[in-house]
């Protein structure tokens, strides 16, 4: 099997509210729009908000989170606070060495903004070890 592309697909309860959140508050750039949805650039991935269907709440809340790597998590937090985005968890260094900050989207999905410090193993090429 060859995977040609991938994206995260969300079916929000309120499409217009989520569109405003991701576009205006978080500041994601639009990759394309179609009749019933919007696709955003999200680093090396895409995030699609589908304006059709409805969220499946029968399985409970979304069990995961969106992990978004940024260069400077403190600057990202300040930028989001400047846009009026509530910060669910302030930026801090985690026991595993990453700096993380959380916000919550209108459907309760956690967005984890992550800074990978220069000394973290994710930054090192260990293939020759």
Mean pLDDT is lowest, of 6-10, 77-81, 115-119, 122-126, for 122-126
pLDDT in tens, 25-40: 999 999 999 888 999 9
Residue 28 gets which letter from DSSP?
P
DSSP letters, 29-98, are PEEEEETTEEEEEETTEEEEEE-SS---GGG-S--SEEEEE-S-HHHHHHHHHHTTPPPSEEEEE-TTS-
Per-residue confidence (pLDDT) for residue 89, from 0 to 100: 97
Asked whether the predicted pLDDT for residue 118 surpasses 80, the reply is: yes
Q: Which range of residues forms the domain containing residue 16?
A: 1-53
Residue indicated by tokens 């955003």: 40
Those residues whose C-beta lies under 8 Å from the C-beta of residue 6, and which sit 6 or more positions away, are 45, 46
pLDDT in tens, 4-57: 677 888 989 899 999 999 999 999 999 999 888 999 999 889 999 988 766 665
**33 plus 66 within the same structural domain:** no
Mean pLDDT of all residues belonging to the chain: 87
**71 plus 114 within the same structural domain:** yes
Q: How far apart are CA 120 and CA 23, in angstroms?
A: 31
**71 plus 31 within the same structural domain:** no
Per-residue confidence (pLDDT) for residue 123, from 0 to 100: 74
pTM of this structure: 0.76
Residues for the chain: how many in total? 129
**10 plus 73 within the same structural domain:** no
> Structural domain tally of the chain?
2
Last residue of a domain, one of 53, 77, 93: 53
**125 plus 89 within the same structural domain:** yes
**82 plus 115 within the same structural domain:** yes
CATH of the domain at 23: 3.10.180.10
Per-residue confidence (pLDDT) for residue 56, from 0 to 100: 62
């Amino acid at each position: 099997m060859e995977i040609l592309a991938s994206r995260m697909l969300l079916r929000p309860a309120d499409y217009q509210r989520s569109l405003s959140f991701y576009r205006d508050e978080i500041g994601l750039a639009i990759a394309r729009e179609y009749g019933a949805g919007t696709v955003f650039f999200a680093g090396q991935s895409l995030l699609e908000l589908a304006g059709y269907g409805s969220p499946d709440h029968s399985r409970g809340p979304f069990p995961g989170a969106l992990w978004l790597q940024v260069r400077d998590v403190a600057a990202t937090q300040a930028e989001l606070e400047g846009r009026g985005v509530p910060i669910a968890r302030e930026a801090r260094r985690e026991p595993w060495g990453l700096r993380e900050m959380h916000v919550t989207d209108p459907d309760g999905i956690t967005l984890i903004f992550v800074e990978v410090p220069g000394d973290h193993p994710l930054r090192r090429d260990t293939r020759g070890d």
